[in-house]
Amino acid sequence: MPITPATETHSSTNDAAPAILLELVDEKGVTIGTAEKLAAHQAPGRLHRAFSVFLFDEQGRLLLQQRALGKYHSPGVWSNTCCGHPYPGEAPFAAAARRTYEELGVSPSLLAEAGTVRYNHPDPASGLVEQEFNHLFVGLVQTPLAPDPEEVAEAAFVTAQELAERHARDTFSAWFMTVLDAARPAVRELTGPAAGW
């Protein structure tokens, strides 16, 4: 696994890893400062910039990931293809492409902006809070996955119907439906009406 600022704190060769900082924003998404990642997620949470990626295969199936059990926030739950936080000053588009590769070992063959959504989702299991101004992206993946096991426990491509069935029986991230619903217009444009999104 390559060592990047996102993975540096988990590297056994770096005993004094620097804190990961997130970009704090106002209600319009304007940057107002930074905060340490865990501190920004502790109740009541501080509004920060984030991104969510929804990648589809050529059959219009959505790539889901099950978050690794070792993650401090929402471990073991299913969620969208990739989500995370840009570094301060990093463009959300660049962060989305970077983290998709770091987590899943693929670079999207197409990645497009799909709007933004602001939400406040407490996670009852951890007590952490997602206060996020989230940049949404949709795209295509056409190469085999190579997930990083420290980030992803499992990955699956699902149709809209299979997602509905899985969502009814499995545990999903607190933010999943909010970001999917906000991205749906772009998802439908990308996948076409026959895919059922």
Name the residues annotated as catalytic. Answer: 83, 132
CB atoms within 10 A of CB 113: 14
Are 174 and 102 spatial neighbours (Cβ–Cβ below 8 Å)?
A: no
Closest by CA to 174, choosing from 97, 83, 103, is 83
